């Protein structure tokens, strides 16, 4: 029999307190639906009435039928100048439409004295009255004991009196908060053990902040010591350094720790997509190195690692990535060996075997290009083309050959707009195509000239467009170490990464040169070649 641990998600409340997260009511509704689909037990939607977004969100949620989760509304205990019945926060919680209320109250005497400026007794009275009032009007009422661990260390008896008051007035769960995130896991364990001795019947939860990078460890320590509710956020977003990252807490509880359950196996496989969804809607770049759900979590770069995982994945993977909806990735870089090439060749559908001399050729080509600055991890389409170009049966047709490139940019003092023009001479199946095009900048002009020359031959290129363009100077040009000042400066090699799309697929290609135009053209030519190759493959598959 495993102990059910209740997941209380506060992405929409504490997560929204991250300095770089600004969610609209629509964003919040979309995230709430996804959290419900994942299987959270509680979704804390926000602080009703605190601002128009919260009001709009709670109104919108009245029309959303959550299948798994209960919606919770958050606020403080009533203000000292009010009674529960007249307090705007408590009345807004009740009229929010949420089924559950979670209110925070002070459990550290210093906060009572300084932040609230009231007596310790009055604080206990406010907590008791607030919880009784909420219990009468809501399905469940949770008490968040703010600064509990700091309060316990300052005055154990007072911190325990706060918990006892909330419990005796009907709180359904006492959530012990490490609000400043400064508590160590062993302190969490020993303090919770004492709480359980003193309040043996109380149900406990944990709300840990990540200021010492210990929020997940502290949450797990709390569960091991008897907490049955874990609060946290998707991707660990939250005030200051964030909250306990539920994307780590959940698989640790479900897969690693014995005797606990929180999400069923099928739901667990939605974890990675949920993390990606929340990043996307919050407009945050996904955290590549995030355990379990990050893109790098099961990515293998070192040749020794890849050689081993091809024999048995578990040799360098702590769990099966598919359990959390993630997947193994093998990277093609200068740190790889023949095993990386072999693994990738199989992913791309090439029938290479261990010992094939082509593996040496490809491995040497990858190492040489990587040393020049080609990044095949960021540009998988160019990696695939590199493979194809080395295949003995000429797997990649010469769709076109660039014979000459001219790019002109000029500016006249009487004309504020820079004139930019690119002309290209290409060989397409023995025909010479000569085109010129203008553009906002040299890459835009090159892109237009290239596609103008080729669309007569390959109409599918009309669907294709460039969606991102990144340039990186490969040798550092500035440093605060004077003797390390780079001599090349603007003469350094640059890497250009181009992301293209045809409305269905997106792909990234790379070019490297000391000349930014040449690097851009290389990446552009790869982008076009890749589109032509994929179209041909699709046609071929359809015909078969």
Ligand X SMILES: CC(=O)SCCNC(=O)CCNC(=O)[C@H](O)C(C)(C)COP(=O)(O)OP(=O)(O)OC[C@H]1O[C@@H](n2cnc3c(N)ncnc32)[C@H](O)[C@@H]1OP(=O)(O)O
The contacts of residue 311 (CB under 8 Å, 6+ apart) are none
The smaller minimum CB distance to ligand X, of residues 171 and 461, is found at 171
The smaller minimum CB distance to ligand X, of residues 146 and 447, is found at 146
3-state helix, strand, coil in the chain (%, to 5): 45, 20, 35
Per CB under 6 A, which of residues 170..189 are in contact with ligand CC(=O)C(=O)O? 177, 179
CB of 290 to ligand X, least distance (A): 23
DSSP state of 116: I
Taking CB under 6 A as the rule, does residue 104 contact ligand CC(=O)C(=O)O?
yes
Taking CB under 6 A as the rule, does residue 374 contact ligand X?
no
Listed in sequence order, the DSSP H helices in 67-119 are 88-94, 109-111
CB of 494 to ligand X, least distance (A): 45
Tell me if 454 sits within 8 A of 447, measured CB to CB: no
The Cα–Cα gap between 205 and 138 comes to 19
The Cα–Cα gap between 492 and 469 comes to 18
With CB cut-offs between 5 and 8 Å by kind, which of ligand CC(=O)C(=O)O, ligand X, none does residue 115 bind? ligand X
Residue 93 sits at the vertex; the CA angle it makes with 90 and 98, to the nearest 5 degrees, is 160
Taking CB under 6 A as the rule, does residue 11 contact ligand X?
no
Other C-beta atoms within 10 Å of 387: how many? Answer: 24
DSSP strands (E only) in 413-503 = 415-428, 431-438, 465-473, 494-501
Torsion angle (degrees, nearest 10) of CA 164, 169, 174, 178 = -70
Taking CB under 6 A as the rule, does residue 77 contact ligand X?
yes
The Cα–Cα gap between 423 and 41 comes to 61
Among 146, 150, 172, 384, binds ligand CC(=O)C(=O)O (CB under 6 A): 146
Binding string to ligand X for residues 160 to 179, with x set by CB under 6 A, is what? -------------------x
CB of 76 to ligand X, least distance (A): 4
Taking CB under 6 A as the rule, does residue 144 contact ligand CC(=O)C(=O)O?
yes
Among 106, 305, 329, 495, binds ligand X (CB under 6 A): 106
Spatial strand order of the sheet with 415-428 comes to 401-412, 415-428, 431-438
Taking CB under 6 A as the rule, does residue 47 contact ligand X?
yes
With CB cut-offs between 5 and 8 Å by kind, which of ligand CC(=O)C(=O)O, ligand X, none does residue 364 bind? none
Q: In this chain, which stretch among 101-109, 162-170, 193-201, 295-303 interacts with ligand X, using CB under 6 A?
A: 101-109
Among 207, 272, 451, 531, binds ligand CC(=O)C(=O)O (CB under 6 A): 207
Q: What is the distance, to the nearest Å, from the Cα of residue 90 to the centroid of all Cα atoms in its chain?
A: 34
CA-to-CA separations, 219 to 32, 250, 372, in angstroms, rounded: 22, 10, 45
With CB cut-offs between 5 and 8 Å by kind, which of ligand X, ligand CC(=O)C(=O)O, none does residue 210 bind? none
Taking CB under 6 A as the rule, does residue 274 contact ligand CC(=O)C(=O)O?
no
By CB under 6 A, name the binding residues for ligand CC(=O)C(=O)O. Answer: 14, 104, 144, 146, 177, 179, 207, 209
Interaction site with ligand X (CB under 6 A): 17, 47, 50-51, 76-77, 79, 104-106, 115-116, 146, 179, 239
């Amino acid at each position: 029999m495993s102990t059910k641990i209740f997941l209380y998600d506060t992405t929409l409340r504490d997560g929204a307190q991250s300095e770089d997260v600004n969610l609209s009511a629509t964003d919040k509704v979309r995230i709430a639906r996804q959290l419900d689909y994942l299987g959270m037990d509680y979704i804390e939607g926000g602080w009703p009435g605190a601002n128009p977004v919260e009001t709009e969100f709670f109104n919108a949620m009245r029309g959303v039928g959550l299948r798994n989760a209960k919606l919770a509304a958050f606020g403080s205990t009533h203000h000292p100048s009010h009674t529960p019945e007249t307090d705007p926060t408590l009345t807004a919680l009740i009229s929010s439409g949420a089924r559950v209320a979670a209110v925070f109250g002070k459990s550290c005497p210093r906060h009572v004295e300084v932040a609230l400026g009231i007596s310790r007794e009055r604080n206990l009275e406010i907590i008791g009255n607030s919880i009784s009032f909420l219990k009468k009007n809501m399905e469940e009422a949770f008490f968040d004991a703010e600064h509990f661990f700091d309060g316990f260390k300052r005055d154990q008896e007072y911190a325990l009196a706060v918990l006892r008051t909330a419990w005796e007035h009907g709180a359904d769960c006492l959530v012990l908060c490490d609000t400043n995130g400064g508590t160590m896991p062993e302190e969490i364990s020993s303090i919770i053990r004492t709480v359980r001795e003193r309040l043996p019947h109380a149900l406990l939860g944990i709300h840990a902040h990540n200021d010492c990078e210990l929020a997940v460890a502290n949450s797990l320590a709390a569960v091991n010591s008897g907490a049955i509710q874990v609060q946290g956020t998707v991707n660990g977003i939250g005030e200051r350094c964030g909250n306990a990252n539920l994307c780590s807490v959940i698989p640790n509880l479900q897969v690693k720790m014995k005797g606990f359950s929180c999400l069923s196996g099928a739901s667990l496989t939605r974890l990675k997509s949920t993390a990606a969804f929340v990043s996307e809607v919050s407009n945050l770049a996904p955290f590549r190195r995030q355990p379990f759900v990050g893109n790098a979590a099961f990515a293998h770069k070192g040749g020794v690692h890849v050689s081993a995982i091809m024999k048995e994945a578990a040799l360098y993977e702590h769990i099966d990535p598919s359990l959390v909806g993630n997947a193994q990735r093998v990277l093609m870089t200068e740190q790889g060996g023949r095993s990386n090439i072999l693994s990738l060749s199989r992913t791309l559908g090439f029938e290479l075997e261990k010992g094939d001399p082509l593996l040496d050729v490809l491995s040497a080509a990858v190492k040489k290009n990587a040393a020049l600055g080609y990044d095949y991890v960021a540009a998988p389409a160019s990696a695939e083309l590199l493979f194809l170009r080395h295949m003995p049966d000429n797997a990649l047709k010469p769709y076109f050959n660039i014979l000459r490139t001219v790019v002109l940019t000029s500016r006249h003092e009487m004309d504020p707009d820079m004139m930019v023009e690119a002309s290209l001479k290409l060989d397409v199946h023995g025909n010479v195509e000569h085109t010129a095009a203008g553009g906002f900048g040299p890459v835009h002009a090159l892109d237009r000239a290239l596609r103008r020359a080729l669309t007569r031959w390959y109409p599918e290129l009309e669907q294709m467009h460039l969606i991102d363009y990144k340039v990186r100077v490969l040798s550092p040009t500035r440093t605060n170490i004077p003797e390390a000042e780079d001599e090349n400066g603007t003469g350094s090699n640059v890497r250009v990464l181009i992301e293209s799309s045809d409305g269905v697929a997106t792909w990234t290609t790379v070019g490297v040169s000391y000349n930014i135009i040449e690097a851009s053209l290389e990446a552009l030519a790869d982008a076009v070649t890749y589109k032509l190759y994929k179209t041909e493959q699709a046609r071929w598959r359809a015909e078969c």
